[in-house]
Each structure stands twice: as C-alpha cells, then as structure tokens.
Amino acid sequence: MDRRDIHVLKYFSSYVSVSEGKVINITEPTLIFCPLAENLYKNFKDLGSHNKEAVKAAIKDAIESKIKDYGFFTEKRKFSFGEVSIPYGASEMLSFALRKKAVDAAVVVCEGAGTVITNNPDMVQAIGARMHSLLLTSPIKGIIEKLKAAGCRVIFENAFIDQARGVEEAIRSGYKSIAVTVCGHSAEDLKRLRLLEKENNAAIVILSVCTTGLPKDKVSLIRDYADLVWSCASSEVRQIIGPSSIMQLSRQIPVFVLTRQGVNFIAAYANDEKLIRDLDARKQYLSSNEPSGQCVYFGNLKTFICESILPVNARREPRFEEKNQYASV
C-alpha cells in the first residue's frame, strides 16, 4: 500500500498541513501578534490590519521558506545549520547539555522520522532548530537514512511520535541521564515519564514545549511534572506556572524553570555554570537583557540575573484576537 506523505504542525495558533513539500492547508489563526515570529519572519511585520488572510499568508510563507532553504519535509532535508538559531531555544539548550555531558542523550522529534534518540549535540540542534510543534508526520526515507548515518536512532519506521516510548528505548540502550522534549498537547505523558524515571533509577529532564492554546488542566499537569516549560503564547502558562517557578528566562516569551534538575540542566547553557547551580531554589530569579544583577551568557546571549517575583510580564507579548474581531473578514 502506498503511504501518503503528510505532516501536521502547529504554528502561530494554526494547524498547518504539509504534503509533497508544499503547504496544503492552514486552519484559521487566533493569534494576531508574536514578537518572535515578527523578529524571525518579515511577513509577520506590520500585520496591523488583523486580516486573517494576511496572517495565513505569513504562516504559509514561513513554513515554505523552511522547505525551500533547508529541505524540511523532503528528501533534501539539511542537518547542518551552524550558529545558534534562537536564544533560549530547546534544541540549543539540548545541544549545550549534550556537549557538556549534562545529559547522556536526548529524545526529540523530527519530521519524516518521528521519535528520535541522539547523543550528538550537532544533530539535536539540526533536528530541532527552526522546527515548530510537530504533531504528526509520515516516513521520509532520505531523512531517516541521514539520521541513522549520523548515529541517531529512529524508534518507529512509520515515523510515529511517542516520546515516552523513546525514553524507554533510551533507558534500554544504557542511558541514565536523558532529556526529552514533549509537546504541550501530550501533557498526559509527563506522569508516565516520571514513573519511568523512578522505576529505572534514571534522571529524566522533561522539556515541555509548544504550549500555545492549552487548556488549564494540561497546564496544571505540566506544572506538576515538567522541569522546563516554554510559555509560547500561553497566558495560562504564565499565570499557572510562573508563580511556581525558580527561574524565568526572558520577558517576552518566557521559559520557566521549575525544578533543581531544570536549573542544573540550564547551567550547561551558561558560561558560568557555578553561578546558576548555586542559585537558591527557595527564591525566584529573572534572566533578561535589562542590566540589573549578575551578568551571565546563555549561549551567546548576554543577560542579567536578579531576584524577582515571577512571572514578570513584558510590554510586547503574544496577543490573540479579541472576540468577534474577525467577524467581518
């Protein structure tokens, strides 16, 4: 039976379907502004008209630029990007953690391959950099072959995504310190991951990513079980998880660090690991570009760390449409 080439991701509050290297469908967006999207993609600038079709066109352009420039969702997929792509990006943090031996392996998701285990810092960066929330994918032979040639382990030949199963396989392979990325929509898997951690005497660093639009019950699960959480455009994450955090990285789109294990993980991302490791877990800290507190570099980004009550909001945060805003569009 022929397999259909289909990949579904979530970006800018829309579900985007890709097939045969082309965007074939975009659902109606509810987000109208994201500072990160505006910074990365020129078509997101000046969307002041709040026109849905303009937003969908910007989404389409962003995804198709990745297909054209890097071969995403195709046999031409590139796995070499060089520089750090996004400050506080999950793949960047994973790359540093592997390079500094803070973790032994990472379980991540790649389009065309599904759940993947790697201990290669360059590959974890190449897999995750510039990728959005991948919800479903189908196998692409060229991508799977490139991953295997680089020493990565592809868990499912049908490109299924199951991060808990990936962690199980990583443990069976002998890894004891494992970082795993889990999309917010799969928050129910986090408890399963903690059970795996306990049953196997392992250390599992859970990175909860892609949290835009999650209901409060999933956000609460993430708060209870994750180590790091990317807030994306979720006000619920800011409100529910922020107050429980040890540390907030960035103001506009915060990354919240919830546990001592999470603090130790991000220490590998810092030029002064001791400074981060020595932070008092009974207090709360903000890392931002405002020159207040102790200077530290995360990746190649100069920041300052100071004590603060969390969460700390920013003037330019992601914004959703107001009710009935698009009624006449």
Domain assignment present for 319 = no
Domain assignment present for 329 = no
Please tell me whether residues 119 and 11 are part of one structural domain: no
Distance CA 12, CA 31 (A): 6
What's the rounded mean pLDDT across residues 161-175? 98
Distance CA 34, CA 210 (A): 14
Amino acid at 93: M
Strand partners, 209: 183
Please tell me whether residues 36 and 150 are part of one structural domain: no
pLDDT: is 193 or 43 the higher one?
193
pLDDT: is 82 or 328 the higher one?
82
Residue owning tokens 């979530």 = 10
Please tell me whether residues 237 and 187 are part of one structural domain: yes
Q: How many domains does the chain have?
A: 2
pLDDT value, residue 83:
66
Please tell me whether residues 49 and 103 are part of one structural domain: no
**Residue 109 belongs to what domain range?**
90-313
**Per-residue pLDDT tens over the stretch 299-325:** 989 999 999 999 999 988 998 887 533
What's the rounded mean pLDDT across residues 252-277? 97
pLDDT value, residue 65:
94
pLDDT value, residue 47:
72
Residue owning tokens 């993609």 = 41
Alpha-carbon torsion, ordered 124, 165, 214, 131, to 10 deg: 20
Confidence label for 18 from pLDDT (cuts 50, 70 and 90): very high
Distance CA 124, CA 215 (A): 29
Q: How far apart are the first and last CA of the chain?
A: 42
What pTM does this model have? 0.95
**Per-residue pLDDT tens over the stretch 36-46:** 888 888 888 87
Please tell me whether residues 250 and 124 are part of one structural domain: yes
- Structure letter (DSSP) for residue 234: -
- The overall average pLDDT reported for the chain is 93
Please tell me whether residues 206 and 300 are part of one structural domain: yes
Residue owning tokens 């020493």 = 151
Domain assignment present for 84 = no
Please tell me whether residues 211 and 270 are part of one structural domain: yes
Please tell me whether residues 63 and 184 are part of one structural domain: no
pLDDT value, residue 327:
34
Ordered DSSP codes for 45-70: TT-TT--HHHHHHHHHHHHHHHHHHH
Domain assignment present for 279 = yes
Please tell me whether residues 99 and 65 are part of one structural domain: no
Please tell me whether residues 215 and 66 are part of one structural domain: no
pLDDT: is 35 or 84 the higher one?
35
pLDDT greater than 60 at residue 1: no
Distance CA 109, CA 97 (A): 17
Domain assignment present for 138 = yes
Please tell me whether residues 165 and 96 are part of one structural domain: yes
pLDDT greater than 60 at residue 328: no
Domain assignment present for 302 = yes
Domain assignment present for 221 = yes
What value, to the nearest 5°, has the Cα angle with vertex 93 and ends 89 and 98?
150
With pLDDT > 90 as the criterion, what percentage of the chain qualifies?
84
Cβ-based neighbours of 316, under 8 Å, separated by 6 or more: 35, 252
Confidence label for 84 from pLDDT (cuts 50, 70 and 90): low
Distance CA 9, CA 11 (A): 7
What's the rounded mean pLDDT across residues 143-157? 98
Residues in the chain: 329
What's the rounded mean pLDDT across residues 101-122? 98
Please tell me whether residues 139 and 27 are part of one structural domain: no
pLDDT value, residue 39:
85
pLDDT greater than 70 at residue 209: yes
pLDDT: is 124 or 81 the higher one?
124
CA-closest candidate to residue 256, choices 220, 310, 299: 310
Domain assignment present for 123 = yes
Distance CA 69, CA 322 (A): 35
